Amino acid sequence: MQAPVLVLKDSLNRESGNKVHYGNIQASKAVADIIRTTLGPRSMLKMLLDAAGGIVVTNDGNAILRELDLAHPAAKSMIELSRTQDEEVGDGTTSVIVLAGEMLHVAEAFIDKKYHPTVICQAYNKALEDAISVLDKIAMTVDVKDRATMLGLVKSCIGTKFTGQFGDLIADLAINATTTVGVDLGQGLREVDIKKYIKVEKVPGGQLEDSKVLKGVMFNKDVVAPGKMRRKILNPRIILLDCPLEYKKGENQTNAELLREEDWSVLLKMEEEYIENLCMQILKFKPDLVITEKGLSDLACHYFSKAGVSAIRRLRKTDNNRIAKACGAVIVNRPDELQESDVGTGAGLFEVKKIGDEFFAFVVDCKDPKACTVLLRGASKDLLNEVERNLQDAMSVARNIIKNPKLVPGGGATELTVSAMLKQRSSSIEGIEKVKQ
């Protein structure tokens, strides 16, 4: 099955007037019709091929629409609408497209009556302002510390999705993760950066119920010398580096002229002394674990293993930032700038475990972690990808509630209230905009 290709009109003729308006409406309705069947409790999953040839099985509106290959500007703007909804809110990507399609469908009747599109848009904008004012009036404040309320709110977001069948599991994961990385900014403000400080690690195998939020971070790395370095350390002192622990090579081509045989040994000795000096600057702080984003030479590995220090090299920058947030360490660019305050002492356990065929390092049991990893287990890669999409939606909803704890009634009550108010408001509007309102 190929990714759907939507060809709406293949024409090189320039069009104007009502023809374009109708074309735009038809294109937008076509996009809405594609994902209409993925909305609601009886929604169906769609199976698509992505650009890389992999399978996407989902009923997430944004995930489906971003796989579409479109050649119409109005249809493309509908997809942007879905993407914006996903970025800002996390949930409602399908609803927003279906609603936009329906509003354009309703507007078609006014174009038939020769209403100018600007007039229609102005009336829609007025209706939007009035609707927002009504929502502000009927919104209730939510207690974000009440676990049961938060659980109910997040569950309402994933109830119609694939993971809805697993009960509270995903909602629990989402709330635990977002509350972990939340930072108080003072004056009642709270920042929750789920993109930077929450990593979702998908490991095929096991049951979905084995998924959990770690009180710390995990990453797909092993120690440099598994036989010589410890793989389990309690209450480790962690040093994080952003510099190579190997001899610095010349940036340009470097030539050295050696006149005597002993000069070669002198060069090698200079290299060794440079690396030894780097290692001694680090070892004087008595670390248990040294992690660097760059390379680590065999000689440095020897000095560390001799001192009983475990080392990990070539870690991603994003993972290093999360470890720093979790254990209270500071990432240092030069070993000679190290201070005692840069050493991370907040982690309770460092351990390397083998899951499946790969080794994963865990820095967990942290005292007050401001970053975390969500470990997802499941039967297959495709299932895990869909669980991750649902989890991202749930975390976005939890983040938005924490940042702005307000809630409007559900079950269609809000929509009916807005509808009744707009009908009442329309009687006080003069001119041709009245019917549109």
Asked if residue 239 lies in contact with residue 278, where contact means CB atoms within 8 angstroms, the answer is no
CB-based contacts of 285, cutoff 8 Å, min separation 6: 237, 239, 338, 340, 343
CA atoms within 13 A on the CB side of 212: 8
| Catalytic residue flag (residue 84) | no
| Catalytic residue flag (residue 38) | no
The number of beta carbons lying within 10 Å of the beta carbon of residue 233 is 20
DSSP 403: H
Strand partners, 56: 48
Closest to 116 in 3D by CA, of 50, 49, 21: 21
| Annotated catalytic residue, options 38, 58, 91, 93 | 93
Q: Where are the alpha helices (DSSP H) in 209-260?
A: none
| Annotated catalytic residue, options 58, 60, 91, 130 | 60
Alpha-carbon gap, residue 335 to 281, rounded angstroms? 6
The tokens describing 190, both together, are: 């709270």
The tokens describing 69, both together, are: 């290959």
What single letter denotes the amino acid at residue 55?
Answer: I
| Catalytic residue flag (residue 318) | no
What single letter denotes the amino acid at residue 358?
Answer: E
| Annotated catalytic residue, options 58, 94, 163, 180 | 94
Closest to 421 in 3D by CA, of 133, 184, 164: 133
DSSP 144: T
| Catalytic residue flag (residue 91) | no
Asked if residue 295 lies in contact with residue 244, where contact means CB atoms within 8 angstroms, the answer is yes
The tokens describing 343, both together, are: 């050493």
Q: Where are the alpha helices (DSSP H) in 216-352?
A: 261-283, 298-306, 317-327
Q: Which residues are catalytic?
A: 60, 93-94, 393
